[in-house]
Chain A
């Protein structure tokens, strides 16, 4: 019983590429009886796979658990009397919440500014690549933007120090001189350029790829027929995008933006290297030494010099960051998953070929695919319609 299927499986693997599906039909009845038996290899493999899936849940729970365990001593301590906490960078704060409050503000504030720059540009790029760029160029352009994601964050940080800081100096001076009465641009103007504006600008560059790639993916999923219908009715390209693409991609854009926000919240190096911070609540954009510090940068800067309890306090701030970004990411994913669930029905093939697919409809493609698998020669329809990319792949493989 045990040896028969394995020996037949060996030959089946070899021949499956050439014999049509019907070839294995002769031992159908025995196969149904056999299927109830679980082979040990199967059992182990299944266990390993399921175990890994469970392990991921354990890891995530472990992250939360160990952060909480480490942070509790600092959160519960009385900061004004504790000898480890009433010195150094934590001296000015009566308790943990007074310490983490301004840091949370700084994190949200810098991320919000980054989003203000990054989101419109990111969505614009996605639109350019999906609907405006020449088709041949589109994938290369997409690759260029993805390259931005490949550049390590530390490199962006260093780049911000020597390029963005001096680049923004004239702008800061001008803003301070002419618009200084607005609180955003108030305070003594920077002389080195270590402003939250510079930091947020670098953050914006770093979140561009994620916003672009997700929006692009959603834009490309717009039903082709809707777009063609809009164009056929005489809409200009922009009107087509507004009528067919945006309503369809609305939730996708929202979640792409939220994911970008999540990325900006956790970025460490750009902020840590560029801005000259203080732990306070401030909206000022172009001062130095009075910028709101972010959680991540504060950890990176103070961790090496912290006492044990101060380290626990930093871990506590990290826990807050974890909670915030978890919330932002969960909301984003829930939005995008809800949308995707609705869309699944219309989407027949996981591999949507490039931009502006020429695939007429799902039924046609899957029907021909089945024909190809069954070994019938490709005739008629496919030759008339011209082979789609999908068919070429399948045809070559079988």
Chain B
């Protein structure tokens, strides 16, 4: 029976369990039951935390191990293609992710262009204009909260139905995917910006207003500059969040091996979708498709890490003096 866990992880789990039980029993004997419970709980929450680190470390290690061999200069700069050799009757796949990188940047960029103004203005409305008891403010706050919970695939279905009703069937386009991502990104931007704007001390606004400055000028010249670090950080994190979305892009922009930099026409490839299709719909050469998927996944993780780093650096640089 003990053989179930005859691996490193299994042994770690077993050790933890034995340790906790022994700790509990010893503590009951030596100290008392209350202390024993306390120690047991402390052990349990620590184990819970360590448990959460396992998938984090394991995921990153796996992605790096599997993807590192795939990533090369030619993988980043060439368009993936499969060529058929009529003489030997073999299909050779040249790995490449350029079409996916370009697609990801275009689609995410447009999504950010749509979401940031809407999100920022909504948060300005919520913080600066709306009275707390006003029904519109309460409704919008609630809807934003609910919108953060929209399944990403539903956003993709929405964009697909919207464009297939307006444009007609086969309405796959990068722009459609951007619309889908905007639905997911707007609530994140609103929440982040709202929080940051609320951190601006009310005294600043009152001081400005008391001096006869208009509300508009107060917001643009006092409130926004004070919060700018937080706003940029929040927006970068929102971008980092949607850049890895797979399902909505897959439905709205479909997938392709061709290079397509026009967001308004035809399917567009993106990194997450390249990673998905590499496994779910592999080409003739399954191993090559899978390897390509891992390369795309690693590129995606690198992009997310870069965005997170930028967000943090911006927060550091632009933060008002004395801010943590």
Contacts and interface: CB of A to CB of B under 8 A. Distances in A.
Given A144-B53, A152-B301, A262-B149, A393 B322 contact: yes
B300 A57 contact: no
B38 A155 contact: no
A49 interface: yes
A3 to B, nearest CB: 12
Contacts of A328: 149
Interface of B: 1, 3-7, 9, 34-35, 37-38, 41-42, 44-49, 51-53, 55-56, 58-60, 62-63, 66, 117-122, 124-126, 128-130, 136-137, 139-140, 142-155, 157-158, 160-162, 164-165, 169, 183, 186-187, 190, 195, 198-199, 201, 203-204, 207-208, 210-217, 219-222, 240-241, 243-247, 250-251, 254-255, 272, 275-276, 279-281, 293-294, 297, 300-301, 304, 308, 320-324
B186 A154 contact: no
15 contacts: A5-B214, A8-B213, A49-B125, A121-B48, A151-B244, A157-B276, A159-B63, A162-B66, A212-B52, A236-B35, A237-B38, A266-B151, A318-B154, A373-B207, A393-B322
B9 A167 contact: yes
Contacts, number: 350
B187 to A, nearest CB: 8
A104 interface: no
B157 A318 contact: yes
Scoring A268, A273, A325 by chain B CB atoms within 10 A of each residue's CB, the highest score goes to A268
A397 interface: yes
Nearest to A159: B59
Interface of A is mostly: helix
A55 to B, nearest CB: 6
Contacts of A205: 52, 55
Contact of A53 (B7, B48, B140, B211): B140
A389 B59 contact: no
Given A49-B124, A121-B48, A8 B245 contact: no
B240 A304 contact: no
B38 A239 contact: yes
B158 A300 contact: no
Nearest to B41: A238
A360 to B, nearest CB: 19
A70 B147 CA distance: 21
Interface string A380-398: 0000000001001111110
A154 B275 contact: yes
Contact of B246 (A5, A154, A208): A154
Contacts of A13: 208, 213, 217, 221-222
B34 A12 contact: no
A153 to B, nearest CB: 6
Given A57-B139, A63-B154, A42 B215 contact: yes
Contact of B147 (A42, A56, A156, A394): A56
Contacts of A57: 139-140, 143
A321 B48 CA distance: 31
Interface stretch (A78-86, A123-131, A280-288): A123-131
Contacts of A225: none
A16 B320 CA distance: 16
B9 to A, nearest CB: 7
B46 A273 contact: no
Interface in A244-296: 259, 262-263, 265-269, 272-273, 296
Nearest to B276: A154
B48 A128 contact: yes
Interface string A129-149: 100110000000100110111
A320 B36 CA distance: 48
B244 A152 contact: yes
B154 A322 contact: yes
A24 interface: yes
Contacts of B44: 124
Contacts of A300: 153, 247, 250-251, 276, 280
A326 B59 contact: no
A10 to B, nearest CB: 9
Contact of B186 (A59, A124, A259, A303): A59
Contacts of B136: 50, 53-54
A21 B130 CA distance: 25
Contacts of B293: 158
